[in-house]
Structure 1
Amino acid sequence: MERNNYKIAVLLATYNGGKYIKEQLESLFQQSCKQFHLYVRDDGSSDDTMKIVEEFRQKYPDKITILEDSQKHRGAAKSFMYLLENVDSEYYMFCDQDDIWLPEKIEKTYARMKEIETATLSETAAHVKGNAPILVATDLRVVDKQLSPIKESFNEDLKIDVFRKHPELICVRHVVTGCTMMFNRAAKLAALPMSPRATMHDEWVALCVHFKGGVISILDDATMLYRQHTSNTLGADQARKGFFARAIARAGQKQFFQVAKLLHKDFGLSYLKFLMYKILYSWF
């Protein structure tokens, strides 16, 4: 277990990301908040990804740790969860290899985390008691591979305003984007181990926080550039599609049953209630 001497552990899972990772790493080390350590796990890259990471490690030897793992090709979700399992820290952030973090990303997210912890936000004060799981996420700007703007706010596509009024929306819609998240140690403990029925690390952590009495707070500030390109594991395009467009697709049907089973087996949500949520929130 790697013990982080800083407040925040930034967890970076890499795989053949040499094309964009240098820009991402540069943006990390231009952050206004310096209270973080970067932990990297590579999933068996065959390009120059790890050469670039090693160059940055030599430049910032006290700020980067590469976690060795004998198992390769775990995939994105399990790679991130491996990092989470093997790093001990007060707070955690997931980091994709191909985005750009704006300079105040960590600072703004951490500030909201501390506000919630001290129960100064009236809308959460009644729920924060003791060591509760807390997750903070932010908005992001969607850009193309050359960083040209596509959409200024991704929260609109994720229906964040609906989520704030109806938190159960998280059962049927992906409302938390992993690369914008910060969560505390209690949230980590709530999310480990990851269910074999879970498909994505960020969705799983968010669901655990929601169902285990935690707090999810989403800032409207865009704190990063979310790069869209042909190699993305998950992109913004799927979030913009409506429920019915997703439902008639074969992949959408498969996901429907996967999520229904996950919620029922791991969190006790009935299949009927899941279907009711799906129908109700398809109109938003």
Structure 2
Amino acid sequence: MTRPVSVALCTFNGATYIRRQLASVLAQTVPPTQLVVSDDGSTDATIAMVEEELRAHEAATGWNPEVVLLRNETPLGVTANFEQALRASTGELIALCDQDDEWEPRKLEKLVAMFDARPGLGFLHTDAQLIDDDGAPTGGTIFGVLEVSEEDRQAVHSGRAFSVFVRRNIATGATAMVHRDLVAACAPFPAEWVHDEWLAIQAAARDRLDLSEEPLTRYRRHAANQIGAGDPTIGHKIRRVLGARGDRNRMLAARSRILADSLRGAVDVDSSKVALAEEKAAFETTRAELPANRVKRFVPVLRLAAGGAYPRLASQGWMDVVRDLFQPA
């Protein structure tokens, strides 16, 4: 491997699966040059297990990557903890790593090869095979659960990723590799955004994002997942559309405004992306300010729909018209 690669592994009470994940990282056909472990205040044996696994690996092979171990006495939360791990990573390329998954043996080898083949790439994410608590495949994939369409995939491959990501995030950080200069450009990460979503949309705005359909991660789904993929069942969709609005729309408006502000004036983002981000911010602000009275929502929602805003800017497209018309306040 000619390019130094760091692995940014974040942990929090991950004793159940951490040995399996760390073993899969250390067993890569092309190993990382650095391992950064950022623990967010674990109260179980996570850190002791990490140290034991590293000692055992060195005893067995005579080698370990450079190890940086960060311990947060006060938990930072998922986004800030990953930002800390990423900023401590010195490799040109950084693979994001969750504590409870398992990697395919050639994951780093293949991700680095994809970066080598795409000059200027900043963020690469892949599909993942879903596994259960015991590591057995469930038959599903991350792209399947997230309903990543062929249209979405082709848009990303053809340089139109921002038009996809401005509607919704389709990247899962546990599958991703990022260029270190993208991390620097994105910091500090806003609290309103999850780390992988922020990195992905910033890369998309700079035409530096791509995806691979090859599943290089075995993504474990279990009850304790801090952030995970949900089931796209009909019942789930109906509950999501007809559930109370709560703070969701205000959060979407805040996130969209933060994004637009971050892109304005960026020398490596063209004006069309800034304009689309501003349009998204205005759209989500209008949605957040819709009246509580459903009857009074009718005209502003139909005005947005008539202008074609929903299929271009809303995560669920035309389904969000139904959501905005009928969701209780």
Q: Aligned partners of 1:70, 1:140: CA distance in 2, in Å?
A: 29
SS of the residue corresponding to residue 236 of structure 1 reads coil
Residues 15-67 of structure 1: CA deviation (Å, up to 9, x unaligned): 11001100101111111112432110111111111111111232346415233
Separation (CA, whole Å) in 2 of partners of 1:179 and 1:69: 20
Q: 1:91 aligns with which of 83, 90, 93?
A: 93
More deviation, 42-51/56-65: 56-65
Identity %: 25
1:148-175, Cα deviation, whole Å (9 max, x unpaired): 2223322133315232326322123220
Residue ranges of structure 2 left out of the alignment (5+ in a row): 261-276, 285-308, 321-329
TM-score between both structures, scaled by the size of structure 1? 0.82
Matches within 5 A, 1:120-139: 132=120, 134-139=122-127
| 1:176-215 mapped onto 2 (5 Å cutoff) | 176-198=171-193, 200-211=194-205, 213-215=206-208
Which structure has greater helix proportion?
2
Partners of 2:89 and 2:42 in 1: how far apart?
22
Structure 1 residues 70 and 149 mapped into 2: Cα distance closer, same or farther (>3 Å)?
A: closer
Distance 1:16 1:48 in 2: 7
Give the 5 Å matches for 1:258-273: 258-267=251-260, 268-270=277-279, 271-273=281-283
8 Å Cα contact 1:12/1:94 also seen in 2: yes
- Residue 222 in structure 1 maps to residue 215 in structure 2: yes
1:32 equivalent to 2:29? Answer yes
The question of 1:51 aligning with 2:87 is answered no
- State the number of aligned residues: 263
Taking a change above 3 Å as real, the CA distance of residues 69 and 282 of structure 1, as seen in their structure-2 partners, is farther
Question: What TM-score do the two structures reach when normalised by structure 2?
Answer: 0.72
- CA contact 1:133–1:187 (8 Å) conserved in 2: no
Letter in 1 for 2:97: C
Partner of 2:228: 235
- Looking at structure 2, the residues matched to 27 and 35 of structure 1 have their Cα atoms a distance apart, in angstroms, of 12
Q: Which residue in 1 is equivalent to 2:152?
A: 163
Mean alpha-carbon deviation: is it higher for 61-70 or for 173-182?
61-70
Q: 1:279 to 1:77 in 2, by over 3 A?
A: closer
The equivalent of 2:137 in structure 1 is 149
Change (3 A) 1:180 1:160: farther
Return the index of the structure with the highest Cα Rg: 2
Residues 13 and 80, structure 1, Cα contact 8 Å, conserved in 2: yes
Q: 1:173 aligns with which of 168, 172, 184?
A: 168
The letter for the 2-side match of 1:111 is A
Shifted more, 268-277 versus 132-141: the winner is 268-277
Is the Cα–Cα contact under 8 Å of residues 39 and 72 in structure 2 kept in the other structure? no
1:138 deviates by 0.9
SS in 2 for 1:237: coil
Cα separation, partners in 2 of 1:54 and 1:235, compared to 1, 3 Å: same
Partner in structure 2 of residue 21 of structure 1? 18
TM-aligned CA deviation for residue 195 of structure 1? 1.8
TM-aligned CA distance change 1:70 to 1:26, over 3 Å: closer
Contact 2:124 2:210 survives alignment (8 Å):
yes
Cα separation, 2, equivalents of 1:220 and 1:160: 11
Q: Give, in angstroms, the shift of residue 243 of structure 1.
A: 6.1
Q: Which has the higher contact order (CA 8 A, sep 6+)?
A: 1
* Shift in Å, 1:246: 2.8
Note if contact 2:171-2:200 (Cα within 8 Å) is conserved in structure 1. yes
Structure 2: how far apart are the matches of 1:203 and 1:238? 19
Measure, in 2, the Cα distance between the counterparts of 1:226 and 1:254.
29
Kept after mapping to 2: 8 A contact 1:40/1:64: no
* Structure 1 residues 79-103: Cα deviation after superposition (integer angstroms, max 9, x where no partner): 1101112222201111000001011
